[in-house]
Amino acid sequence: EANLGDGTFNATVFDANGGRFGVGSDSNVLIGIGDELRQYEYSQRLLHRARNVLAKNEGSTGRALFDGALAGGNIAMGREGDRLRQGASADFVSLDVERLPHAKGDAVLDGWIFAGRARASDVWVRGVKQVEGGHHRLRDAAERAFQKAIGELLN
C-alpha cells in the first residue's frame, strides 16, 4: 500500500532471513494483485538502485513475485501447499492473455505484473466459478443495489 506512504523496507534482507510475504489490501484506492507485486519490486529497485531485485537466480521477476506471494498467502491463510490437489480448496484465477499473444511461460506473469497487459478473466473459489469473462456473477445485482442506495442517499 505505497499510496499510504508507510515507507520501504529491505526485502532482500527479509528474504535472506526466511521472510514470507503476501499481497492484499484493506484500502479501496486500488485493489490489484499485479499492481501490488509491481509496486513491491519497484520499491526495492528504488531502494537498491538496481533492476530485478527480487528475481531468483537471474530468472523471471514475475515468477519470483508470484511464487513468493502464493507461498506467503497460503501460510497467512493456514493452507498447506500451493498446488491443486484432491481434497484441497480449488481457488484459482485464469488470466486473459489475448493482449499477450506471443508470451509463453513466465513471460505471461512478467507481462501481467509489469506491463499490465493481462487481466483476470475467470475466478474460482472453492471450485465454484465466481467471475467469468471479467464479470462477477453477482455484479448486476450488486450494481442495482448500489444505485438504489445512492438514489436513497441523494433524495
Q: Is 144 helix (H, G, I), strand (E, B) or coil?
A: helix
pLDDT tens, 12-51? 999 999 999 998 777 666 778 898 899 999 999 999 999 9
pLDDT digits (tens, 9 = 90+) for 53-77: 999 988 999 999 999 999 999 899 8
pTM given for the model:
0.82
Q: How far apart are CA 109 and CA 86, in angstroms?
A: 26
Residue type for position 34: G
- Residue 116 clears pLDDT 90, i.e. is over it: no
Q: HSE of 73 in the Cβ direction (CA atoms, 13 Å)?
A: 16
